[in-house]
Structure 1
Amino acid sequence: MARDPSLLEDTGERYPPEHRVDLPRIERAVREILAAVGENPDREGLRDTPARVAGAYEFLFAGLGVDPTQQLTVGFQEDHHEMVLIRDIPFYSTCVPSKQIVNRVGKARRAADIAVGDKLWTLANGTVEKTTVKQVSSRKAWEIVEVVTERGIMRV
């Protein structure tokens, strides 16, 4: 369900209630981490770090719990049978525990730039799955990419 951004602007909130995180709690945790690694969270260069990290987490986790199928709806009807692509879609992935807090930040790639063996994230039944490109075939008018998922082969 799409939201009217003006409704959020009127309340001064950046995200609707179901997407909010506990900012003060995150700030306290970041201060504790800084202290635990031997830093002084009150020194000038770190004073605003807990708030910045909390704001970043608020942004990164804003889609947590959102049904992605609700975001992928048709906005208009056309009498065409060609594929329509959306490009430059922001993508953020977190994985804990891990060596990094943010494992992947990127965006959609052109089919022409994809090679065999590339690892891709593919939306399947409303969830994102890691996929491997098995074969890439060129056609005169478009690019075809074949990816293998746990559920089978998909051509895009």
Structure 2
Amino acid sequence: MAEVDVPRIARAVREILLAIGEDPDRPGLERTPERVAEAYADFFAGLSVDPLSHLAESVPIGETGAGDPATSDAVVLRDLHFRSVCEHHLLPFVGRAHVAYLPGDRVVGLGRIPAVVDTLASRPQLQERLAEEIADTLEHGLGARGVLVVLDAQHRCVTTRGARQDRSSTITIASRGALADPVARAEIIALIQAGSADRDA
């Protein structure tokens, strides 16, 4: 996968400054093309990373004393903060991801789940697609029996331009396998909301 071409971005940003009638050589702007290029290299670093690589070091979940698979009912991670860039306007959207999965015969270190979210968020994205991609990665990378992803984010293209709805947020949900069942999904969403209530109390 190709790396971000930082010098090329800097040249393009200089052209943008000229196009809006600014002087890219004036004090205050002389380093702006390089700063923007460095920021874009960070924002889009996920383009050069395979999200499945974060799940490569999964471990067998083991067996019970009776020899049955020792599967967990659910693993739920709440409040994973993420930032991404909307592919329509190249403006950021930021929010929280809540991720749950029902293990098959393998689990992964809890730090690997935020890494998956960050890698997929670090690309030009749509929030709807981001939720689906996280769910697909966990389902295929872990052989999960079920996956639920809930994203709650604010979009700068909504809060700072057009309608300028500065208090609005967007929620998207992606579910797979056993957690696509409405009852099972509702149970996980209740756990997520309970955590939110505890934080707001």
Shorter-chain TM-score tier: 0.5 to 0.7
How far residue 21 of structure 1 moved from its aligned partner, in angstroms, is 1.6
Match of 2:191 among 136, 143, 147: 143
Task: Tell me if 1:104 matches 2:153.
Answer: no
Match of 2:136 among 106, 120, 125: 125
Residue number in structure 2 paired with 1:54: 37
**Which digits, 9 at most, give the CA deviation of each residue in 1:76-106, with x for residues without a partner?**
45555142234525342441xx2x2135233
Q: Is the 8 A contact 1:67 1:126 kept in 2?
A: no
Partner Cα distance (1:40, 1:71) in 2: 44
Task: Tell me if 1:70 matches 2:53.
Answer: yes
Corresponding letter in the other structure for 1:70:
S
Secondary structure at 1:38 match in 2: coil
User: TM-score under structure 1 normalisation?
Assistant: 0.54
Give the stretch that moved more between structures: 80-89 or 49-58: 80-89
Partner Cα distance (2:59, 2:137) in 1: 21
Task: Tell me if 1:83 matches 2:74.
Answer: yes
User: TM-score under structure 2 normalisation?
Assistant: 0.44
How far residue 65 of structure 1 moved from its aligned partner, in angstroms, is 4.3
- Alpha-carbon RMSD across the aligned residues, in angstroms, is 3.8
Match of 2:28 among 45, 55, 64: 45
Corresponding letter in the other structure for 1:21:
V
How far residue 47 of structure 1 moved from its aligned partner, in angstroms, is 1.4
Corresponding letter in the other structure for 2:76:
L
Residue correspondences, number: 115
Partner Cα distance (1:20, 1:103) in 2: 20
Residue number in structure 2 paired with 1:154: none
Give the stretch that moved more between structures: 40-49 or 69-78: 69-78
Give the structure with the higher percent helix: 2
Q: Is the 8 A contact 2:77 2:98 kept in 1?
A: no
Gaps of 5+ in 2: 62-69, 101-127, 139-148, 150-170, 175-179, 194-201
Partner Cα distance (1:126, 1:66) in 2: 13
Gaps of 5+ in 1: 1-17, 112-118, 146-156
